[in-house]
A and B are shown apart, each in its own frame.
Chain A
Amino acid sequence: MSALLAIAARSAWNRRGTLVLVMLSIALATALLLSLERLRSDIRSSFAQSVSGTDLIVGARTGPVQLMLYAVFRVGGATQGIRMDSVRAVAAHRAVAWTVPIALGDSHRGHPVLGTTTDYFTRFAYGDRQPLALAQGRAFAGTLDGLYEAVLGAEVAQRLGYRLGQRITLSHGLGAAPGEAGGDHADKPFTVVGVLARTGTPVDRTVHVSLQAIEAIHLDWAGGAPLPGMSIAPEHARKFDLEPKQVTAVLVGLKNRVAVFNVQRFVADYEAEPLLAVLPGVALDELWSVIGLGERALLAMSGLVALVSLASLVAVVLAGLNERRRELAVLRAVGAGPRHVLVLLAAEGALVTLLGALTGAAAAAVAVVATGPWVQQRFGLTLQAAAPSAEQWALFGAVLLAGMLASLVPGWRAYRLSLADGLTPRT
């Protein structure tokens, strides 16, 4: 048997040009399948990791998925804010343990700015109920003296090279355009007082300021743009009433999670304002049911790519049969049975598949390691360079199995060729 394998390997080496090409195509297909699976599971877990310990998210009435997307993932925008007295009413519900209001809508060089209270740093949790931690400095004070203080997510600080004490200006709206575009809050610069430790969640990309600061920078924006001749100096802003009248959403924690439906119903039936409360887990599952379709289509596509490469393997080995008639006939003449020829060809196909799949797996691993930092920076998604998951093993196994089955086809063909067929010289 091992002699046969050696013959197969040496014979394949003789025709290495085409076989290497086939191997590469199998490698590419395998890499595609494996990295797609990795991406799929990592996106899922990174989404699921983004919020923990928050029982309800309350916002203006939109769709549950949309509310979840903008309140947690900073994707899309709110259709409307919610009034502060509604927030207080929710907070006063006897089942509610804590509320953290958040205000979105401004940005700093493309990074979303989140106005919130100091409670955010103690209440908000991610992953397995891990609280936010400060890598440097402290949380913003939340007082008038510390009005223009900002706390950066790890990604913001790293990407823009900011340190404690850095002065930054916020932009109105979500564009990345600097001051020239006009939508700037340049008159009221902020000082960085803290940098959060990395979480692998959208928090990393966020600039955190107090709700009062959000009010202050919009004091002279009454008409949706800075009013000409009416600018309020930063220090004067402190004299105004900076209590927020409106926020974008509220994160709610309950004393007892069983009460979640009651509070949800209370919010939905709240008469003074149309509100919506979503359970983060339920909204996420809703999102998956939408994304799941696309996911499956992608996986099916890469499955097809794998099939095509295996088909090309069969085609190449089959085409090779013609040039190998002599070789096979000589083997038969020196005593090899048809079985041996079958094994020889199947082994060749299996060998090429195995090498291809291994190369592909290695390429997928290298790709994850190499693009990990870029993906993290660009999309805030943490790719894990971890051991293959069960699903990845399954895909790897499927490629190998399919390759071996496919190599039986040329093997069978050779098995049927008669000895005389190869020995008869053709003119």
Chain B
Amino acid sequence: MRTLACALTVLCLAGPSSAQPRDGVPAMKPPLAATPASAAARAGEARTITWEALVPADWDPFKDFKGLDFQLLDDGDPRANAMLKKMRKAWDDAPVNPALVGQLVRIPGFVVPLEDGKEGLREFLLVPYFGACIHSPPPPANQIIHVLPRTPAKGLRSMDTVWISGVLATGRSDTYMGASSYRIEATQVTPYKEPAR
């Protein structure tokens, strides 16, 4: 039941009335610092974006939960479980940010390998925080990027941090989570370095 407790806490904290920003899913704050988008907006150059930018500004995952007082629910309450499932679904169907699709972007993240070959990684998922696959509920669909490097990326392991750049596209819409997921045919995959301050 710890998951439920955590999730509900997150919900309470992130309710529209709280001081948290509304545009992102609060639990998904990227620990990796990305330089602001305005830094390099020249034509032909990849725009550096943050993970928050992948969530459309007007999307509110909590709109269905308004007016609920979570304090009144116990962990074992079937209504709480039902709500958790509903919340999970809302996150699974999190929409993509249409403003970013088709843009040349650059974003840092952690690598989850999918296809490893002789020449290196041919397919991987990029996620915003370490351990995204195991320890916490999976990130919402719009916080995962399916990366297909142009040339296989050599020497990468699970949870290595990289910068990738390429044109952001959406997944095939006929599959589960397809319409709400991103994919990039990355032209560049480079090891992450702390931005200079």
Chain A contact residues, CB within 8 Å of chain B: 45, 48-49, 52-53, 55, 94-95, 127-129, 255-262, 264-265, 279, 281-282, 284-286, 288-289
Chain A neighbourhood of B175, CB < 8 A: 95, 255-256, 259
Q: For window 122-160 of chain B, which residues contact chain A by CB distance below 8 Å?
A: 122-125, 132-134, 137-139, 141, 144, 146, 157-158
- Give 16 CB contacts A-B under 8 Å: A95-B175, A127-B118, A256-B172, A257-B123, A258-B181, A258-B183, A260-B125, A260-B133, A261-B132, A261-B133, A261-B139, A265-B138, A281-B115, A281-B124, A282-B112, A285-B158
Cα distance, A262 to B94, chains bound together (Å): 13
The residue from B116, B138, B181, B183 contacting A284, defined by CB atoms under 8 A apart: B116
The residue from B134, B137, B158, B182 contacting A281, defined by CB atoms under 8 A apart: B158
Q: Is the CB of B138 within 8 A of A264?
A: yes
B56 contacts the other chain (CB 8 A): no
Q: Given A128-B117, A261-B138, A285-B158, is A255 in contact with B133 using a C-beta cutoff of 8 Å?
A: no
Chain B neighbourhood of A265, CB < 8 A: 137-138
List 7 tightest A-B contacts by C-beta distance, closest first: A261-B138, A281-B113, A285-B158, A256-B175, A255-B175, A258-B181, A95-B176
Cα distance, A412 to B157, chains bound together (Å): 46
Band of interface residues on B? 20 to 34
Cα distance, A128 to B122, chains bound together (Å): 9
Q: Given A48-B116, A95-B177, is A258 in contact with B133 using a C-beta cutoff of 8 Å?
A: no
Q: Is the CB of B114 within 8 A of A281?
A: yes
Main secondary structure of the interface of B (DSSP, over half): loop
Most A C-beta atoms less than 10 A away, residue of B116, B137, B144:
B116
Chain A neighbourhood of B112, CB < 8 A: 260, 279, 281-282
Q: Given A282-B113, A282-B133, is A288 in contact with B157 using a C-beta cutoff of 8 Å?
A: yes
A112 CB, nearest partner CB in chain B, Å: 23
Chain A neighbourhood of B60, CB < 8 A: none
Chain A neighbourhood of B133, CB < 8 A: 260-261, 264, 279, 282
Chain A neighbourhood of B116, CB < 8 A: 48, 281, 284
Cα distance, A45 to B120, chains bound together (Å): 9
Q: Given A49-B118, A279-B133, A282-B133, is A262 in contact with B177 using a C-beta cutoff of 8 Å?
A: yes
B178 contacts the other chain (CB 8 A): yes
Cα distance, A111 to B120, chains bound together (Å): 31
Q: Is the CB of A258 within 8 A of B146?
A: yes
A52: nearest chain-B partner, CB-CB? B115
Q: Is the CB of B92 within 8 A of A55?
A: no
Q: Given A258-B141, A279-B113, is A94 in contact with B146 using a C-beta cutoff of 8 Å?
A: no
A331 CB, nearest partner CB in chain B, Å: 51
B171 contacts the other chain (CB 8 A): yes
Cα distance, A95 to B174, chains bound together (Å): 11
Chain B neighbourhood of A45, CB < 8 A: 117-118
Chain B neighbourhood of A48, CB < 8 A: 116-118
Chain B neighbourhood of A281, CB < 8 A: 112-116, 121, 124, 158
Cα distance, A261 to B118, chains bound together (Å): 25
Cα distance, A289 to B146, chains bound together (Å): 24
Chain A neighbourhood of B177, CB < 8 A: 95, 256, 258-259, 262
B156: nearest chain-A partner, CB-CB? A285
Q: Is the CB of B181 within 8 A of A256?
A: yes
Chain B neighbourhood of A255, CB < 8 A: 175-176, 178
A7 CB, nearest partner CB in chain B, Å: 47
Q: Given A262-B92, A281-B158, is A257 in contact with B146 using a C-beta cutoff of 8 Å?
A: yes
Cα distance, A284 to B113, chains bound together (Å): 10
Cα distance, A262 to B132, chains bound together (Å): 11
B138: nearest chain-A partner, CB-CB? A261
Q: Is the CB of A129 within 8 A of B114?
A: no
